[in-house]
Amino acid sequence: MLESAPENKNIFSTIGEWSEMIKLEHTVFALPFALSGLVLASKTIPTPAVFFWTILAFAGARAAAMTLNRLIDARIDAINPRTQTRAIPAGKIKASHAAFFTMLAFAIMIFAATQLPPLCLWLSPIAVFWLSFYSFTKRFTWLCHIALGIALGGAALGGWVAAGGELSAPAPWLLALSVCTWVAGFDIIYALQDRDFDRQQKLHSIPARFGIPSALAFSSALHVVTLASLVTLGCVLSLGSFFWCGATIVGAALVYEHKLVTPDDLSKINAAFFTTNGVVSIIAFVAIFLDKLFA
């Protein structure tokens, strides 16, 4: 079943299926933070070429990770009512094609890394390993949300290194910590949808292990760390008013996110996941960019 694919598809449906599989719209969650690392580590606004190669490296890494995640989870997705219409379990995209696309996307990431400071290329095997590994973690640990957070926190570190920045100072790690805890926190909220299914299939997640009220408490605690990390980052780098305005909006957005989802009402999970977190990442980047531009 996983290798079948319908015949006579037009190009638009094919593009749509691939776009849905790699969740192109979710790029808004992590790319702004990768670019935030790039901007913060630069003495001036980075050149268009540096922006281009950083974005290409990120796009390749993310496309590979998402496609590999869909491959690894295809059989689980096929029996989950929420995910059984995804491209691979539904037979819209062949698993062999997805595997080839994963290798191609990783190759694009590595090629882009060769156009950036040498440290980017040296660290790329670590990125490939973690982006391949994190999808397996829900099979053995409820810390799988943290594993995903580390993967996207690494994007912020990648942006920092792409600007020629070094990782010996606390600032890049504070940025990565803020991204890691932010992503892990909203991933816990998203995982509430699959709590019962995960328990039935003996998959691991914080909602499945601890229940909905405790999962929401975990998520809130992680987002407190997110804000604390951003505040500490602003102090360490002596960032200006644009950053602090952005951090305030980010804080308000996270508070709003947690008001949308309660143990008695999970109906607004998608609004909390997509809309609110898109605002968080974009506002954070715009604030950092403007702070650098007008410094």
Residue 27 lies in a domain: yes
Q: How far is CA 139 from the centre of its chain?
A: 19
Q: Please give the torsion angle defined by the CA atoms of residues 269, 148, 214 and 191, in that order, rounded to the nearest 10 degrees.
A: 40
Residue 5 lies in a domain: no
Q: Total structural domains in the chain? A: 1
Query: Which are the contacts of 194, defined by CB distance < 8 A and separation ≥ 6?
Result: 80, 82, 203, 205, 207, 208
Range of the domain at 92: 11-293
Residue 1 lies in a domain: no
Helices (H) and strands (E) in the chain, counts: 14, 0
Residue 124 lies in a domain: yes
Task: List C-alpha distances in Å: 211 to 82, 89, 189, 224.
Answer: 19, 28, 12, 20
pLDDT digits (tens, 9 = 90+) for 38-86: 999 998 999 999 999 999 999 999 999 999 999 999 999 999 999 998 8
Residue 264 lies in a domain: yes
pLDDT digits (tens, 9 = 90+) for 123-141: 999 999 999 999 999 999 9
Domain harbouring 214, CATH code: 1.10.357.140
Could you give the CA distance from residue 32 to residue 155 in angstroms, rounded to a whole number? Answer: 10
Residue 3 lies in a domain: no
Residue 242 lies in a domain: yes
Residue 39 lies in a domain: yes
| Mean pLDDT value across residues 159-177 | 94
Q: State the pLDDT at residue 23.
A: 67
pTM to 2 decimal places = 0.91
